[in-house]
Amino acid sequence: MKPMLRTLAAGAVLALAAPAFAQNVAIVNGKPVPSARVDALLEQVTRSGRPVDDALKAQVKDEIIAREVFSQEAEKRGIKASKEYKAQVELAAQTILIRELFADYQKKNPVTDAEIKAEYDKFAAANAGQEYRARHILVEKEDEAKAIIASLQKGGNFEEIAKKQSKDPGSGANGGDLDWANASSYVPEFSDAMTKLKKGELTAAPVKSQFGFHIIRLDDVRQAQLPPLEELRPQISQQMAQQRLASFQEELRKKAKIK
C-alpha cells in the first residue's frame, strides 16, 4: 500500500510541475527562462513578414537561451550597473516605446478599402489617355544636337548614336529608349515636342530643356494600360499608411512645446 501511495504522490508532483515547466523554455544556471520571451521574439519576426516554421522556432529558442547565458555573465561582471549600460537601456526602451506607439496608431487608424479605391481612381484619372513610347538623345550643346539630327536624316542609326553620345545614362545604354509613359511624365518642353510627332517621326530641331538639348523620336502610341486595382492594392495601402503615419508624427511635433 505504501509503495502505491508514493507512486501516486510522485505523480501528483509531476502533474503540478508540468505546467510550471511548460512556462519556461529552459533553466540556465538555475534561473528559469520564460517561454514568453520566445513568443515575443517570434512576434517581432512575424511583424517583419517572415514566415514562422519549426526551424525558425528552434533557432529563436536557441537565441533566447544564448541571450540568457550572456546576460548572466554580464551581470556577474557588473556591467548592468555601469552608466554606459543604463544610457543604452534608456535609449532602447524609448525606441521600443515609440515603435509601439506607431504600431498602435496604425492598428487603430487602418486604411479602408474605400480609401484605397478612391486613391486608385485618382491614379487612373491622372494616367488615363494615351501613352507614348519614345527615344531620345540628350547632349549639352545645340550645335551637337543639330549635327546629330543631320546625321539621322541621312540614315544614321538612332540607337547606336544614343549609346555613344547621349548624356542620359538611364536611356542612353538602351539606345535612348524611354519605354511607355504618359506625356505628363516628362518636362513640358519635351512633352510638347513629343506629342506633336507622328509615329516614327523625329524632331526636326533640338528641343531645349533644363537638362540640355534633346533629339526625340516617337516610336509608338497606345491607350494607357493601367494595372488593375487588386494588383496595386498592397502598394497603395502601404503608401497611404506611411503618409498617414507621417502626418500623425508631424501633428505631434507641432503640438509639442519645445523651448
pLDDT digits (tens, 9 = 90+) for 105-123: 999 999 999 999 999 999 9
Is 20's pLDDT higher than 70?
no
Is 56's pLDDT higher than 80?
yes
Distances (CA, A) of 12 to 1, 21, 27: 17, 14, 22
Q: By percentage, how much of the chain surpasses pLDDT 70?
A: 92
Segments in 23-180 forming alpha helices (H): 35-47, 54-76, 83-108, 113-127, 142-153, 158-165, 169-172
Instruction: Point out which residues pair with 209 in neighbouring strands.
Output: 212
Could you tell me where the beta strands, DSSP code E, fall in the chain? 24-28, 31-34, 130-139, 177-182, 207-209, 212-223
pLDDT digits (tens, 9 = 90+) for 161-219: 999 999 998 999 999 999 999 998 999 999 999 999 999 999 999 999 999 999 999 99
Is 2's pLDDT higher than 90?
no
- 218: cell is 516617337
- Give all domains of the chain, ordered by start, each with its CATH number: 22-81 (1.10.8), 88-128+233-259 (no CATH), 129-223 (3.10.50.40)
Residue-level pLDDT at 10: 41
Whole-prediction pTM value? 0.58
Residue-level pLDDT at 50: 86
Please state which of the ranges 9-18, 119-128, 156-165, 170-179 shows the lowest mean pLDDT: 9-18
